[in-house]
Amino acid sequence: MIILTLNCGSSSVKYQVYDWQEKLVIAKGLVERVGTAESVIEHQSRGKEEVTRTQSCPSHKEAIQLMISLLLDRQVGALSDITVIQAVGHRVVHGADRFAKSIIITPDILDMFREVSDLSPLHNPANIMGIEAAQAVLPDVPHCAIMDTAWHQTMPDFAYTYPLPYEWYTDYRVRKYGFHGTSLLYVAKRAAVLLKKKPRETNCISLHIGNGVSANAVKNGISVDTSMGLTPLEGLVMGTRCGDIDPAIPFYIMNKTGLAPKDVETILNKKSGILGVTQKYIDRRDVVSAARTGDPQARLAIDIESYRIKKYIGAYTAALGSVDALVFTAGVGEMNPPIRQKSLEGLESLGIVVDPQKNALSRTRNAETEISAPNSKVRIFVIPTDEEMVMTEDTHALLTGTYDVHTNFTYSFQSPDYRNKLRDEAFIQDCEKSPGLKNIVAG
C-alpha cells in the first residue's frame, strides 16, 4: 500500500509518500508561498537529488497538482502512476472534544471540522482547503484525518476546565484542548522504548519546541496536561505567539491605543513571542547568533524562553510526582543546544542533570540521542519527531480495520527493533561531519 500524507498550512503543503510493504519513505517535499505567483516546491525522491522549482499556485489545489506532477516526473519522481496512491492521511489541527482518535473523512466529518473552525481560525480552514483539494485530485481513494487534539483527550476535567463561567464550557466549548498531539504521541511512545518500559508504565515530560511550542505531561503513557489551551496561543513562548500573559493586557492595550480586538489578536499570534521581543528574529538560530554578538534583546528573548520552559518542567514534575524522562523534539528542541542547556540549568534538585558536552554534540534530526549526565535520575532524550509516520500508520490501520485509540493500539515504532531507513542513511552523513554523535545515541 502506498500512502500519501498531507500537512496543509495556510500557505504551505508538506507531504510524504510511504511504501507500506517496503517500510520506506519514497518521496517527500514542501510547497511554500501557496496563494502567490511564485510558490516554491522543494521535492526529493529516494535515491535522487533534491529539486527546487518555482511555479504559481493560487490555491492548495494547484499546489497539490504541482506535487503530483513531480511525484510522476520521470527524472525526479517516485511513482509510475497516480493510481498507486491508495490512501491519503491529513493533519487536522483542531477536532475540539469530538474526536479521541483518527477517523476516515466523510462529508459529515468535514462539516464537523468546519463547525469548530472558530476554535482554530489560523489552522482548520487551511486543513479543510487541503482536504478538499486532495479529494478533487484523488477522488477515488479514502482520505483520513489525524487530529492534533486527539492525543490530549485523556486529560482529566480538572486539567482541561478553565475557572470561568461554566456555561462558557457547556455552550461555547471553552476548555483546554492542546495541540501538537501527533508529534507528542510519537515521542512519548519512543521514550518508553528507550527506557525499556511499557507506555502504561512511563511518565515523561515532552517539549515540542519549534515555531509553535508545547509542553506535555504524560503519566502512565497518556497525556494528562499540556501547555497550549483553547487555541495554540496559550503556554510557552513561541516564534510569533506570546504564550501565557496576564489576560487583562489586551484590554489595557486596546484602551490605550484604540486598537480593535482583531488587531490585538493578530499581534498576539503573529507579532509577539520571540519576534516581539527581538523585533526582528523568529528563527532561534538567528537569535542565538545575535545574542553571541551582544544583541541585548536577543539575549533577553533566550532568557525569557528558557525560563518559561524551566517553569513548565518544574510544574509538570510536581503534577506527575515522578518523572522517568524529559524529551526535547521539533526543530529547536532537536537542533538548538544553547536553548536546551539554558532551560535545564539549575534543575539538579529535581533529579535533572544535563551533560553539557553531550548536549553540545546533539544536533541531528536522524537519530535519538541522550544528553543526561550519568548522575541524572531523570533521563534526558532528544528524539526527532515523526508526525508523518503516525499519520501513515493511523491511515493504514483505519483502512485495514486494525485501528483503535492509542492505549489499545501498537505502532510499529514501539518495537525495540524499529528502524527508519531514510534516517539511518542520513545519520551516516551526520556522523561524518560530527563523529561524536555516535557516542550519544540513545538506547
The type of residue at 409 is F
Q: Quick one: CA torsion of 361, 365, 366, 371, rounded to 10 degrees?
A: 40
Cell of 93: 489541527
**Pair type for strands 379-382 and 325-329:** parallel
What residues contact residue 402 under an 8 Å CB cut-off, 6+ apart? Answer: 409
pLDDT for 254 beyond 90: yes
Cell of 440: 550519544
Q: What is the side-by-side order of every strand in the sheet holding 204-209?
A: 222-226, 213-219, 204-209, 325-329, 379-382, 369-370
Active site residues: 148
Residue 69 burial by CB count (10 A; 0-12/13-18/19+): exposed, middle or buried? middle
- Please give the pLDDT value at position 83: 87
Q: Per DSSP, what are the bridge partners of residue 36?
A: 57
Count of residues making up the chain? 443
- The 3-state secondary structure of 141-184, one letter per residue: CCEEEEECCHHHHHCCHHHHCCCCCHHHHHHHCCCCCCCCHHHH
* Residue range 171-190, pLDDT digits in tens: 999 999 999 999 999 999 99
Domain ranges of the chain: 2-147, 196-388+418-440
DSSP state of 380: E
- Domain 2-147 shares a fold with domain 196-388+418-440: yes
**Pair type for strands 213-219 and 36-45:** unpaired
Cell of 434: 560530527
* Residue range 46-89, pLDDT digits in tens: 888 889 999 898 888 888 889 999 999 988 989 988 889 999 99
Q: What is the CA radius of gyration of the chain?
A: 21
The CATH number of the structural domain formed by 196-388+418-440 is: 3.30.420.40
Cβ-contact 182, 151 below 8 angstroms: yes
- Please give the pLDDT value at position 234: 96
- Please give the pLDDT value at position 338: 96
Please tell me the pTM assigned to this model: 0.93
* Residue range 375-414, pLDDT digits in tens: 999 999 999 999 999 999 999 999 999 999 999 999 999 9
* CA–CA separation, 75 and 267 (whole Å): 45
Instruction: Name which residue leads in pLDDT, 432 or 59.
Output: 432
The CATH number of the structural domain formed by 2-147 is: 3.30.420.40
First-to-final CA distance of the chain: 31
Q: Pick from 4, 21, 320: which is nearest to 142 by CA?
A: 4
Residue 246 burial by CB count (10 A; 0-12/13-18/19+): exposed, middle or buried? exposed
Position 160 confidence tier, pLDDT thresholds 50, 70, 90: very high
The type of residue at 317 is T
Position 120 confidence tier, pLDDT thresholds 50, 70, 90: confident
* CA–CA separation, 241 and 209 (whole Å): 13
- How high is the mean pLDDT of the chain? 93
- Please give the pLDDT value at position 122: 72
For residue 83, CA distances in Å to 28, 72, 80, 144, 198 come to 18, 11, 9, 17, 39
What are phi and psi for residue 61, nearest 5 degrees? -60, -45
Position 119 confidence tier, pLDDT thresholds 50, 70, 90: confident
Write b or e for each residue in 332-345: b if 16 or more Cβ atoms lie within 10 A of its Cβ, otherwise e. Answer: bbbbbbbbbebbbe
DSSP letters of 190-229? HHHHHHT--GGG--EEEEEESSSEEEEEEETTEEEEES--
Cβ-contact 51, 34 below 8 angstroms: no
Cβ-contact 105, 128 below 8 angstroms: no
For residue 12, CA distances in Å to 6, 67, 123, 166, 362 come to 10, 12, 11, 38, 29
Lowest mean per-residue pLDDT among 9-18, 238-247, 257-266, 268-277 = 9-18
